[in-house]
């Protein structure tokens, strides 16, 4: 059995996940939309980054890594820059490095990353690669990470030099290198053993692709929901129980946890009418319920935008002129592949009028986008910033537990609050959440959708974003009801 770079990194995280990957292929789920999107971003960033190395030669990446490694060796004789170079070590470890550059008698290794910073595991990644390349007979000198420079502001043309930061991490890699051979040997043994490793479940397991298997006996509402990560891990280690019923009051370190625990145990709502009323008293009619959808592109497509900047392309607005009155709907969705920001900003100013509260759920997000638009368009700045002066945050009464239902499972996200207090939910929608809206709109911008898929996407986005603001109308009624008004 071989050990790849991703296997090595998986072993560092959890040896059981490595074992399951090798021995229980039936448990591996196909990539979800978010994972697929991460792959797509990674591939797009790799392609652009390679343009910085015009003499680079792509090495073969077939099924057989031993053959690929042999072909890489042959290419390394004639070429100074190789992409996707494969190295294979007789003990079964192998890897592919993104960029390999010859300097005299030595080679430098460079990993391309779509993130905007060097993360700790990149050092593990490069240390493993350096180990494999060295044991495969290459003389390796420097190790580097080429990652996105999120300070870069695109002008008319994309500047590939400015888009990236190249950081030399050789010292950190060399420090890490010492332990790599023994770790690699250990992971090779573990993945080949017959018995599944026994690993204690912990809160971070919820992120693991095998959680559906390891966590199958975790109650629907568990200590991982109620307690903070470290508290939950300590509690589980000490009490061997995942049940909220077994958590004593003394374990709850915040008033919110006490409320959540009590609500779960009694099955009752927690209501603080005076607190809800205090929030409602800050509002002024007409109420404008506002929600943005944004795209976040690693490689900026539009002039005066940075990598990973949140570019608003859609908003939904429900307007309620009096308490319990009907809610009129307006909105904007940019259906072209051009920069959406100017048209969206102009229409937003026109749609929001001059008076009345603008209500968003987690309003910091909307306020920040409006501030960014104001910086981008000085002629619209006064009108845009005036919108922020009118902003109120509907999340506040739910986050502060002025109103809480055990059905929220500790979360104050609108995705949990809405179904807890109404029959509405996001389950059967074409677009289910903001992440999906973002990733599918980005696919549209990058010309990866057919005309039919674009049509379905626009309908889905209209329904989804509209639901987010209609949800706030419904929740406002709920707040009035529990405030006793």
- Residues at the interface with ligand SF4 (CB under 6 A): 14, 16-17, 20, 199, 201, 205, 208, 210-211, 214
Beta bridge partners of 146: 112, 166
Shortest separation between residue 28's beta carbon and ligand SF4, angstroms: 12
ω into 470 cis (within 30 of 0): no
Q: Which is nearer to ligand SF4, 14 or 465 (CB)?
A: 14
Return the number of the residue (92 or 209) whose C-beta is nearest ligand SF4: 209
Smallest distance, Å, CB 17 to ligand SF4?
4
State the minimum distance, in angstroms, from the CB of residue 202 to ligand SF4: 7
Q: Which is nearer to ligand SF4, 10 or 163 (CB)?
A: 10
Prior bond of 286 cis (ω within 30°): yes
Q: Which residues pair with 165 in a beta bridge?
A: 147
Question: C-beta of 378: minimal distance to ligand SF4 in Å?
Answer: 50
Whole-angstrom distance, CA of residue 286 vs CA of residue 318: 10
CA distance 353 to 66: 67
Residues 6 or more apart from 154 whose CB is under 8 A from it? 300, 301, 302, 303, 304, 305, 306
Residues 42/49, Cβ–Cβ less than 8 Å: no
Q: Which residue number, 208 or 412, has a Cβ lying nearer to ligand SF4?
A: 208
Indicate the residue among 14 and 443 with the shorter CB distance to ligand SF4.
Answer: 14
**DSSP for residue 248:** -
Between CA 340 and CA 333 the distance in angstroms is 9
Is residue 179 within a helix (H) or strand (E), and if so which, with residue range? none
CB of residue 18 vs ligand SF4: minimum separation in angstroms? 8
* Minimum CB distance to ligand SF4, residue 23 (Å): 12
Least distance from ligand SF4 to the Cβ atom of residue 19, Å: 8
Task: Give counts: helices (H), strands (E), the chain.
Answer: 20, 13
- What do you get for the CA distance between the two ends of the chain, in Å? 68
């Amino acid at each position: 059995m071989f050990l790849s770079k991703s296997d090595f990194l998986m072993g560092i995280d959890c040896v059981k996940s490595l074992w399951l990957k090798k021995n229980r292929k039936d448990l591996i789920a196909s990539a979800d939309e978010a994972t697929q999107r991460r792959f797509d971003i990674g591939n797009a960033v790799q392609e652009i980054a390679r343009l910085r190395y015009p003499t680079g030669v792509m090495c073969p990446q077939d099924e057989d890594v031993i053959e690929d490694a042999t072909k890489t060796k042959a290419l390394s004789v004639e070429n100074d820059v190789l992409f996707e170079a494969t190295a294979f070590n007789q003990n079964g470890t192998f890897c592919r490095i993104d960029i390999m550059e010859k300097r005299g008698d030595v080679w430098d290794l460079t990993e391309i990353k779509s993130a905007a910073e060097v993360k700790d595991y990149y050092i593990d990644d490069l240390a493993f690669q350096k180990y494999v390349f060295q044991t495969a007979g290459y003389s390796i000198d420097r190790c580097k990470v080429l990652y996105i420079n999120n300070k870069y502001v695109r002008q008319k043309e994309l500047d590939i030099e400015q888009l990236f930061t190249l950081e030399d991490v050789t010292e950190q890699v060399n420090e890490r290198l010492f332990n790599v051979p023994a770790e690699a040997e250990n992971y090779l043994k573990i993945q080949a053993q017959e018995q599944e490793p026994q690993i204690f479940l912990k809160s971070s397991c919820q992120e693991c692709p095998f959680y559906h298997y390891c966590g199958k006996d975790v109650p629907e509402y568990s200590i991982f929901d109620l307690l903070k990560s470290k508290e939950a891990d300590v509690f589980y280690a000490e009490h061997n129980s995942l049940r909220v019923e077994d958590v004593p009051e003394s374990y709850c370190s915040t008033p919110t946890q006490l409320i959540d625990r009590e609500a779960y145990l009694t099955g009752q709502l927690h209501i603080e009418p005076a607190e809800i009323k205090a929030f409602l008293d800050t509002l002024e009619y007409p109420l404008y319920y506002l929600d943005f959808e944004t795209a976040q592109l690693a490689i900026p497509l539009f002039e005066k935008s940075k990598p990973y900047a949140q570019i608003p392309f859609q908003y939904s607005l429900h307007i309620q002129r009096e308490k319990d009155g009907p809610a009129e709907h307006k909105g904007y969705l940019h259906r072209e592949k051009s920069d959406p920001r100017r048209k969206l900003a102009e229409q937003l100013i026109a749609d929001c009028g001059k008076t009345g509260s603008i209500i968003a759920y987690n309003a910091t997000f909307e306020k920040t986008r409006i501030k960014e638009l104001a910086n981008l368009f000085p002629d619209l700045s006064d009108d845009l910033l005036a919108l922020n002066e009118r902003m109120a945050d509907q999340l506040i009464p739910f986050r502060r537990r002025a109103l809480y239902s055990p059905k929220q499972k500790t979360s104050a996200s609108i995705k949990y609050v809405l179904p807890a207090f109404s029959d509405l939910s996001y389950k059967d929608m074409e677009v289910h959440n903001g992440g999906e809206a973002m990733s599918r709109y980005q696919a549209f911008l990058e010309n990866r959708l057919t005309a039919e898929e674009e049509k379905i996407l626009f309908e889905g986005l209209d329904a989804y974003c509209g639901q987010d603001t209609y949800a706030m109308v419904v929740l406002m009624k709920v707040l009035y009801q529990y405030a006793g008004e």
